[in-house]
């Protein structure tokens, strides 16, 4: 068990809900992943996905806690307005805050993100801000009231994994009091395991599952990868070394001599 904001969870995998082949496969993938928190965007869910309300019915049936997000917002005003709509619609004070600064890279605008986080935190929201791996931005977000920070591993949907591993390690080392969740850029289960191995509390991903050839099977793979990564962190994974070290240490001389043969 671990604590995310005000909830006790078993799974350290948070799952997105966009771009699945069908609502049925989405529901099966959520179940296979073991995820207890799922994200939903108010601005990017297509009319095609929601045409008969099955999408929302399957989300409710999953019994996972919904983390609405402000994906698609490009200004503080847009993000704050969307967050208030989400709170009314989903009856939750949780909000995944995204304020995009570049349409091509989908990189978050750090200045707008911090300002929107300040406004929302003061208004009683539990803010989950999507940001880069920049330490100073993370510190600013903590200073305005964020207990959770969600740095990207790589640009959204790129599948590059943990592109700046040392910067992510620095975040973990310098911000031990924050809940840190890698959000975006994870493409393989091994990427998720690596994030947990270096001490991140959880990962959030979407495309790596929804666009897989077999989404339900991939969801299960991520479930096991996240669990393995956390176990490795708690067990104390060995550190890399530039020198070889024998796994079977020698003591003294061998007990046999040449004249024995």
3-state secondary structure 144-170: CCCCEEEECCCCCCCCCCCCCHHHHHH
Please check the confidence at residue 226 and state whether its pLDDT lies above 60: yes
Please give the pLDDT value at position 48: 46
Q: Looking at residues 207-220, what average pLDDT do you find?
A: 97
- Cite the active site residues: 96
Which residues have a Cβ under 8 Å from the Cβ of 33 and sit 6 or more positions away? 11, 13, 15, 209, 219, 220, 222, 223
pLDDT band at 193 (very low <50, low <70, confident <90, very high): very high
Q: Looking at residues 104-132, what average pLDDT do you find?
A: 96
User: Among 45-49, 101-105, 162-166, whose mean pLDDT is lowest?
Assistant: 45-49
Structure tokens at 128: 């989950």
Checking DSSP bridges between strand 7-9 and strand 13-16, what pairing results, if any? unpaired
CA dihedral 172, 209, 193, 34 (to 10 degrees): 90
Burial (Cβ within 10 Å: 0-12, 13-18, ≥19) of residue 256? exposed
Please check the confidence at residue 236 and state whether its pLDDT lies above 80: yes
pTM of the model: 0.89
Please give the pLDDT value at position 47: 40
Residue 231 CA to residue 228 CA, distance in Å, equals 5
Burial (Cβ within 10 Å: 0-12, 13-18, ≥19) of residue 147? middle
């Amino acid at each position: 068990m671990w604590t995310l904001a005000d909830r006790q969870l078993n799974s350290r995998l948070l799952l997105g809900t966009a771009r699945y082949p069908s609502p049925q496969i989405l529901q099966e993938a959520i179940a296979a992943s073991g995820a207890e928190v799922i994200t939903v965007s108010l601005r990017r869910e297509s009319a095609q996905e929601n045409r008969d309300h099955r999408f929302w019915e399957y989300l409710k049936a999953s019994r996972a806690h919904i983390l609405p997000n402000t994906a698609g917002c490009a200004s503080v005003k847009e993000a704050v307005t969307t967050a208030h709509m989400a709170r009314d619609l989903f009856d939750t004070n949780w909000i995944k805050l995204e304020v995009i600064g570049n349409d091509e890279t989908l990189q978050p605008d750090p200045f707008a993100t911090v300002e929107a986080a300040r406004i929302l935190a003061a208004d009683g929201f539990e803010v989950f801000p999507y940001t880069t791996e920049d330490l100073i931005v993370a510190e600013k977000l903590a200073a305005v009231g964020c207990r959770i920070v969600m740095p990207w591993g790589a640009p959204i949907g790129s599948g590059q994994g943990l592109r700046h591993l040392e910067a992510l390690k620095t975040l973990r080392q310098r911000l031990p009091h924050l809940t840190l969740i890698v959000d975006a850029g994870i493409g393989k289960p091994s990427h998720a395991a690596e994030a947990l191995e270096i001490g991140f509390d959880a990962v959030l991903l979407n495309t790596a599952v929804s666009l897989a050839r077999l989404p339900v099977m991939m969801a299960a793979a991520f479930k096991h990868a996240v669990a393995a990564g956390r176990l490795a962190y708690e067990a104390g994974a060995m550190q890399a070394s530039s020198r070889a070290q024998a796994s079977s240490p020698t003591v003294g001389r061998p007990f046999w001599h040449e004249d024995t043969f």
